[in-house]
Amino acid sequence: MGEERLVASNRKAFHDYFIEDRYEAGIALTGTEIQSVRRGRVNLRDSFARIEGGEAILYDMHISPWEYAHYGNHDPKRPRKLLLHKSEIRKLEAKATIRGYSLIPLRLYFKGPWLKVELAVAKGKKAFDKREAIAERERRVETQRRLKERQHS
């Protein structure tokens, strides 16, 4: 199929969660929504998915209203259906019902003509996990800085 073109990513998810499994899902959108997405007017922060009635639903993904629509514009935060196979939905439902696990969208991208969502099964980090991750990142940056200093001297 065609190459991928990133529209939006949820960088905060990597700070707040341990990412375990990833799934690719299609997403059902209206015409005005897809126009806004093509222009990059979308935000994944604080969005999440749930399995309800055998369907995967994405909540709190903000897609700005399309400025050229005269009528029938969409609600920016309406729930949106994710398009997955039944077997994938069952797997996600089994994993998401475990305490501490959530379904979090990581990125939104075009794969050829189709808009896709990368959905992750994620476990929430505790405050000490976040501090540990920050300390690890600072150690890596410091090591890289020292290596650069050695190369230049």
Contact 11, 107 (CB under 8 A): no
Lowest-confidence segment of 34-38, 72-76, 135-139 by average pLDDT: 72-76
SS3 state of residue 45 = coil
Residue burial 74-89, b: 16+ Cβ < 10 Å; e: rest: bebeeebebebeeebb
How many Cβ atoms are within 10 Å of 47's Cβ, its own excluded?
22
Task: Check residue 69 and give its pLDDT.
Answer: 67
| Mean pLDDT over the full length of the chain | 88
Q: What is this structure's pTM?
A: 0.76
61-106 pLDDT, tens digit each: 998 887 776 677 777 788 999 999 999 999 999 988 888 899 999 9
**Annotated domain spans of the chain:** 4-125
Task: Check residue 1 and give its pLDDT.
Answer: 55
Task: Check residue 107 and give its pLDDT.
Answer: 94
**pLDDT higher at 46 or 74:** 46
Find out if CATH 2.40.280.10 is the number for domain 4-125: yes
Place 16 in a pLDDT band, splitting at 50, 70 and 90.
Answer: confident
Percentage of the residues of the chain whose pLDDT score is greater than 90: 44
